[in-house]
């Protein structure tokens, strides 16, 4: 699909304005605080690596050394190794993310307004938690860059995509779940599509000679753009009857390379976990895996806050969905209530670290009132139907099934409630929402500006005194 020079000019202008504005804020953040919470571990490690000291490793760090290797690639030889430059890498990465967002949205929405595409990309770059971490030396921004690059360069060489996949896992181990999602999406899509191409007589109950021209024509006409749960089970019944022989016929060379590439990444990661004894490196005691299903409910709150324009745009249809699915509402409410009662876990860090907004939300609502965890249940139900309402028109089971599995793996095994854990799963969904109107895009932009202004106001003006530090701490996401 060709793109006019106007698109590139608009994107370039947007990136320049975004960078120049963010640079002013970036400098203000640097002047305010040189070490932000986990930077206490990240910055010394980054400095050691960019000075080519690869023998030093802080055991408190639990992620793989991707962030520090990227720092090594750009700092030390041509640019100074210091806190400012380490953080600056994330600001540059956020500009790259804006470009990648725009490229992916252009692919997702096809022939649409260039202004709408670039403005949505800007909104995603301004997503408040992501935007803040673009100003400090954390893993989130560059980690997202590699994940976006996998999709943004999907038509490039497979070796390049494989490199991005490995780099994304080196940044954050949990990114392996999203690599698995891509693999699952490819497999499920081919699984269902091949059953449509070769087995429509099973679905339609009409019997044709497989080699006949009319059968091939009907096979083609019965292909869908989006498939549901029943299509998946129809596909299973068909392939079971043919001993799964026709799946191989449908897989193209390009599909095979994608499947092979992602499978190799998963195998390499499995070897790492086996050798390391855990997904975590360094301080394993602080991040022990535990089943914590309510994390999925907290993710719905994250969606409700940061997708507020889309929630309100679908408000009426979401309410209609709820009232036309009363039995499902009752079943879901029962499941959620049991999950909340038996599986709510409170990590000690959540109760002790008053430098995060989650500390105040928990202690002033969930932790303060015994009924609060149950009183929030109607909100979860509404937001779940709202999320489905925003996804159902543009997504099929080949995406939703692998995504749901990956989401559960990433969130429901985490004890700690951490806003950063919700960023990637939310962004993946946001990129697949139905095409928004200009009103929604403008609302989203204004909403994110309000949240960012409020967040940075708290960061710049609210000090938190910890006796372990000789300088005041600040509140972040």
Each residue's pLDDT tens digit, 339-395: 999 999 998 888 889 999 999 999 999 988 889 999 999 999 999 999 999 998 878
pLDDT of residue 107: 87
> Domain check: are 163 and 34 in the same one?
yes
> Domain check: are 81 and 15 in the same one?
yes
Backbone angles phi, psi at 463, to 5 degrees: -105, 145
> Domain check: are 208 and 120 in the same one?
no
> Domain check: are 266 and 316 in the same one?
no
Question: What are the tens digits of pLDDT across the range 138-189?
Answer: 999 999 999 999 987 766 677 888 999 999 999 999 999 999 999 999 999 8
d(CA 27, CA 88): 10
pLDDT of residue 337: 96
> Domain check: are 138 and 247 in the same one?
no
pLDDT of residue 210: 45
d(CA 195, CA 327): 32
> Domain check: are 211 and 301 in the same one?
no
pLDDT of residue 190: 86
pLDDT of residue 214: 36
Buried b vs exposed e over 82-96: b needs ≥16 C-beta within 10 Å?
A: ebebbbbbbbebbbb
pLDDT of residue 450: 98
Within 13 Å of residue 314, how many CA atoms lie on the same side as its CB?
24
CA distances from 56 to 79, 142, 246, 359 (A): 21, 22, 53, 32
> Domain check: are 178 and 68 in the same one?
no
Q: Is residue 95 part of a domain?
A: yes
pLDDT of residue 284: 67
Backbone angles phi, psi at 355, to 5 degrees: -100, 5
Domain that holds residue 371: 289-436
> Domain check: are 259 and 303 in the same one?
no
Q: Residue 425 is encoded by which pair of tokens?
A: 């799963």
Low-confidence stretches of the chain (pLDDT beneath 50): 202, 205-221
Buried b vs exposed e over 333-345: b needs ≥16 C-beta within 10 Å?
A: eeebeebbeeeee
Q: 415 near 288, Cβ under 8 Å?
A: yes
CA distances from 381 to 306, 320, 324, 325 (A): 17, 13, 14, 11
Q: Is residue 448 part of a domain?
A: no
Buried b vs exposed e over 143-158: b needs ≥16 C-beta within 10 Å?
A: bbbbbbbbbbeeeeee
> Domain check: are 334 and 210 in the same one?
no
Total of domains in the chain = 3
d(CA 101, CA 84): 26
d(CA 318, CA 95): 35
> Domain check: are 43 and 160 in the same one?
yes
């Amino acid at each position: 699909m060709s793109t006019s020079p106007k698109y590139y000019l608009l994107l370039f202008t947007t990136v320049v304005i975004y960078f120049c504005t963010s640079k002013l804020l970036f400098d203000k953040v640097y002047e305010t605080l040189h070490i932000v919470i986990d930077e206490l571990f990240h910055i010394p490690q980054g400095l050691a690596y960019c000075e080519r000291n690869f023998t030093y490793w802080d055991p408190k760090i639990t992620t793989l050394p991707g962030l520090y290797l990227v720092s090594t690639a750009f700092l030390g030889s041509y640019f100074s190794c210091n806190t400012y430059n380490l953080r600056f890498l994330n600001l540059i990465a956020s500009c790259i993310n804006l470009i990648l967002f725009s490229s992916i949205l252009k692919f997702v929405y096809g022939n649409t307004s260039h202004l709408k595409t670039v403005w949505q990309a800007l909104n995603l770059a301004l997503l408040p938690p992501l935007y803040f971490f673009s100003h400090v030396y954390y893993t989130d921004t560059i980690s997202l860059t590699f994940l976006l690059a996998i999709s943004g360069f999907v038509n490039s060489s497979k070796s390049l995509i494989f490199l991005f996949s490995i780099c994304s896992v080196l940044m954050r181990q949990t990114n392996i779940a999203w690599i698995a999602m891509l693999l699952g999406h490819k497999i499920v899509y081919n699984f269902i599509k091949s059953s449509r191409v070769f087995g429509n007589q099973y679905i339609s109950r009409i019997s044709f000679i497989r080699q006949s021209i009319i059968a091939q024509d009907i096979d083609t006409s019965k292909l869908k753009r989006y498939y549901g749960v029943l299509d998946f089970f129809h596909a299973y019944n068909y392939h079971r009857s043919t001993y799964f022989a026709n799946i191989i016929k449908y897989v193209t060379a390009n599909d095979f390379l994608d499947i092979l590439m992602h499978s190799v990444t998963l195998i390499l990661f499995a070897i790492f976990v086996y050798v390391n004894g855990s997904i975590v490196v360094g301080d394993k005691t602080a991040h022990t895996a535990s089943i914590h299903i309510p994390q999925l409910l907290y993710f719905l709150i994250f969606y409700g806050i940061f997708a507020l324009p889309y929630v309100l745009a679908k408000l009426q249809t979401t309410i209609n969905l709820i009232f036309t699915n009363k039995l499902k509402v009752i079943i879901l409410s029962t499941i959620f209530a049991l999950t909340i009662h038996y599986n709510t876990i409170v990590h000690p860090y959540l109760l002790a670290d008053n430098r995060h907004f989650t500390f105040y939300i928990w202690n002033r609502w969930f932790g303060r009132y015994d009924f609060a965890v149950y009183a929030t249940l109607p909100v979860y139900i509404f937001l779940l139907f709202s999320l489905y309402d925003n996804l159902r028109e543009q997504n099929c089971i080949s995406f939703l099934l692998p995504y749901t599995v990956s989401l559960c793996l990433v969130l429901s095994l985490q004890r700690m409630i951490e806003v950063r854990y919700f960023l990637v799963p939310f962004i993946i969904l946001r990129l697949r929402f139905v095409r928004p109107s200009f009103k929604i895009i403008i609302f989203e932009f204004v909403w994110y500006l309000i949240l960012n202004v409020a967040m940075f106001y708290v960061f710049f003006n609210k000090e938190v005194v910890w006796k372990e530090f000789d300088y005041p701490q600040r509140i972040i996401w």
